[in-house]
Amino acid sequence: MRNGNEHFVTCGQMKILERRADEDGLSYYQMMENAGTAAALAIMERIGSGFPPAAVAEAPSGIAAMSVKHERRHQALIFCGKGNNGGDGFVVARKMSESGFCVHVILVDGQPVTEDSVTNFRLLENMPVQVTDMTENERVLMYMRVWPDIIVDAIYGTGFHGSLSGNALRAAIYMNKFKIGESAESCADIQPARSAPADAPRPVMFSLDIPSGLGGDIVDEQEVDVNSVRADCTIAFHARKPVHLQKFAARYCGDIIVADIGIDEGRLWSV
């Protein structure tokens, strides 16, 4: 569908496209791999111009970028939900670890539950990726002493409706404090445990597909959860969703990058 020159699909249409792609030979697992790989590349390309030259080498285009090694091991903090958006986050974690980043994954709602996200989570077991489960200690964010360079929001995607609650709300407030400081809702047990090093830039925040807390199809600002993640950049998979086109969503989405995950939409609609 198009709104002016902006191509978009609704969340329902995206599910249909994914199902048809799977039936046509592009598995759900491969789409997750493509999404996470594309997101990792987009993140590395973005921070290549966002950090000082000594911080990170500019990632070239293409899969070869995954082999880039960085002069200093930058800290990537990745918040993952238990569904497929979290699975995309696990792929990002793997790809960034392979590229020399120091990666810390936070399981917001516990262990993953969808088949492909479980598979990608298990691929992290033999990698130097730290994993922390918020369901085992809801105050874990209070004790974190890492100052991240990169924060990735992979909690909720197109399946989210309503308002954030529980650990997802805690995680969103924690992430937002790095960007908007004390204007975020106050909560003593989710304050960053350490202040920023004197020479540290503010972390660059990325959301996968949709900032957690926003419904992908909303077009009414009254439906927005004000605690939704406020990303610097949102990496939309395959196409923009309706919320990406709304002016009120700009403060949450930041810049929007559309990542190709291998879906041939024109052909699949004709199937």
Known binding positions for (6S)-NADPHX: 84-88, 157-163, 209
Closest CA to 152 of 41, 261, 256, 43: 43
How many other C-beta atoms lie within 10 A of the C-beta of residue 260? 11
Is residue 124 within 8 Å of residue 94, measured between CB atoms? Answer: yes
Which residue from 221, 227, 206, 158 is spatially nearest to 12, judged by alpha carbons? 158
Nearest-angstrom CA–CA distance, 263 and 50:
30
CA-based nearest residue to 121, from 91, 100, 96: 91
List binding-site positions.
84-88, 153, 157-163, 209, 212
φ, ψ for residue 237 (rounded to 5)? -90, 125
Distance CA 66, CA 60 (A): 9
* Binding residue positions for K(+): 85, 153, 212
DSSP string computed for 122-166: HTTTTSSEEEEETTT-TTGGGG-----SEEEEES--TT--S---H
The strand pairing partners of 79, in sequence order, are 106, 153
192 φ, ψ (degrees, to nearest 5): -55, 135
Q: Cα(73)–Cα(147) distance, rounded to whole angstroms? A: 12
Residue type, 32: M
